[in-house]
Structure 1
């Protein structure tokens, strides 16, 4: 009998649906690996990536500033410039920046490539020691594009050379009775006008939607595959289908079970996200500038949400869980075995990874209604809006409605597939 016939029958009998749901949930609970992927991983990984990873990057960058690098030199720099290069400094936040060690080299490129020196400065035969003398070019050899070099030795050398230039110009102006401010009549002060929550979300906020959606997918994947291809492989699906339960009720029961495990994983992920704020404040207290003002450090962020945004997050997670669960069931039913089903559903993760990569450039794109009409993508955009404090309720409502509509279509496809003997008895 076709799936459309089942849909046309009288209303769904929830007693049988709950029996199917309970059976699938008990099967999932017995699998400890599924519980670990649904509960422990979201609770641990989101704080690790939103707090630990940025903290690690921040320590790596600051470590390069505190590390003493070897810099090769070709030629003889003036003593004042040599002192600037080798002296320790303190930045505006009170952090120490170590100087460098100068070593003579003959081949600049070979010294950098072999690691003999982290960078090489090539000085011309005559270097100006006063402002007004003929200018000269100092060549800097380094691994441009290398994060370690860019955050360490290159920034140090550029700062020292720029400081030497400023020193010569200031000395020349003072000798003529002209204040140093003569060259900078206009100064620009940049002030952060973003919302407090957007400023606190950090530069890696785009990773949060990806992790939440990935956890929803991972949480529902084991239940969806086991309840379709797994039952095919064990020969228990045929027994279920010859029972008095309608096939539409079987599909809805399996959908609810899959969605439940997916939502459990999403809830644990959201809990880990909410915990990342206090953990971040505990581990990364704000540094103080020279005037005592707070200085934002690190790449991570903190999440502070309102009751409305929490409700939106829950609705968005529910709609995304239903959609992904229906997609997993509709795809897995075509597989002959559990292993084959895994190969079918693995590409679904690309639906999350590719848009998530693009979220880091979300500021370049306008928030048009069409973006919120894309299934799965809209969930990540709404979650990012919540994290950054730029939530638009009508667009969020559109995203939920689109996901529910696509879920209904996928459920209809699954019901139709469960009614086809060529699919059910494919093994």
Structure 2
């Protein structure tokens, strides 16, 4: 029992950690997933996905859709010209028009894909302002992202522009300036920090990716050094050697934490590369479309230090949790089923981070293990780092790590756990 509570001898800890790291390095698949995936996936999602999404939306504005019209002869020529010729949006981008096609059944035409949308104009469509108002019916696949960003947006813009033209002509005929209808104008100015504005709307994905890579990087080493050794029958040999159980646990923890941090470091490098890659791939004219989604990471030495410290505390916590759970498994496959739910500890809070602006940032939020790491990383990305709260998050993670290490040491000292296979 005294061997369980005594301070570890670091020479033995280093030997155990080296053995586990060497075993992990021999597994090329685990090594590639720890290095290549973080380097590739983070730039792909922070740059490639927003760029693809922006181009898809922009492509819908440039594509010429087919629009059906009921009783085309009753529609004013000026409105038909506006629909066919397109217009320039508020960002100065030219949107193409649509091809007008006569149809008889609007719902069937849209449902069968004959046209992308149908406009049904009433017989009493106003030709000038002041006449009785009328309702134009727009048939389209509401909820369809392609239709919403393309033909529906185009038709609504064209009809709104025609409406504005009628009002302007009516005011001009009565000698009233157009500003009569808008005596007050609102100019919205961005008061957020430059780093927060540049982080983009997908910034909440960064903490999820970094912690997922920490978990994935440490999982292979943790399982192989516990359940894997039990399955191979080598754990008993290690435990009968003159090494204390605490030294075995700490050595395995350091090896697991090292591979987890390697994966996190590669993810951080991929995150830092996303900025230059974004500037390289995104033309200046399209910057307004993609920057708001993907964003870029701009960090200071202090924020980098906070990011590294937070990642280290999260890696220690997750590594200790992986070891404490995996030691109860009889085999490598069984251990995988045990540790897989741990990923839900990251996924669920990460999904909630997209609503981070609605969450109060009190001390209680930073006292929740794992969640606090994601919140601090998001603060770093957005440039809103609070050092006292970050220090609280690190302290909580280290405290929980110590408790999990104690649990793992106790499990390594129980024959019912070690010899479960």
**Is TM > 0.5 for Structure 1 vs Structure 2?**
yes
CA distance in 2, matches of 1:208, 1:16: 37
Matches within 5 A, 1:271-286: 271-286=269-284
1:303 aligns with 2:301: no
For residues 378-403 of structure 1, give each alpha carbon's deviation from its aligned partner in whole angstroms, at most 9, with x where no partner exists.
Answer: 00000000000000000000000000
- In structure 1, the residue matched to 2:134 is 136
- In structure 2, the residue matched to 1:412 is 406
1:171 aligns with 2:165: no
| Matched-pair contact (CA < 8 Å) for 1:229–1:337 | yes
- In structure 2, the residue matched to 1:45 is 41
1:6 aligns with 2:3: yes
| Matched-pair contact (CA < 8 Å) for 1:286–1:296 | no
Question: Which of 201, 222, 225 is matched with 1:224 structurally?
Answer: 222
Matches within 5 A, 1:334-353: 334-353=328-347
CA distance in 1, matches of 2:79, 2:153: 16
- In structure 1, the residue matched to 2:236 is 238
**Cα deviation, residue 295, structure 1:** 4.4
| Matched-pair contact (CA < 8 Å) for 1:69–1:101 | yes
Matches within 5 A, 1:84-103: 84-103=82-101
CA distance in 2, matches of 1:373, 1:295: 37
Matches within 5 A, 1:12-411: 12-76=8-72, 77-287=75-285, 295=288, 297-298=290-291, 299-411=293-405
| Matched-pair contact (CA < 8 Å) for 2:5–2:246 | no
For residues 36-79 of structure 1, give each alpha carbon's deviation from its aligned partner in whole angstroms, at most 9, with x where no partner exists.
Answer: 11111101111111111110000011011001111111233211
| Matched-pair contact (CA < 8 Å) for 1:75–1:124 | no
Gaps of 5+ in 2: none
- In structure 2, the residue matched to 1:291 is none
CA distance in 2, matches of 1:133, 1:106: 27
TM-score in terms of structure 1 length:
0.96
CA distance in 1, matches of 2:366, 2:123: 62
CA distance in 2, matches of 1:34, 1:221: 9
Note closer, same or farther for the CA distance 1:73–1:6 as it changes in structure 2 (3 Å cut).
Answer: farther
CA distance in 2, matches of 1:426, 1:36: 32
| Matched-pair contact (CA < 8 Å) for 1:203–1:300 | yes
- What SS class does the counterpart of residue 364 from structure 2 fall into? helix
| Matched-pair contact (CA < 8 Å) for 2:369–2:396 | yes
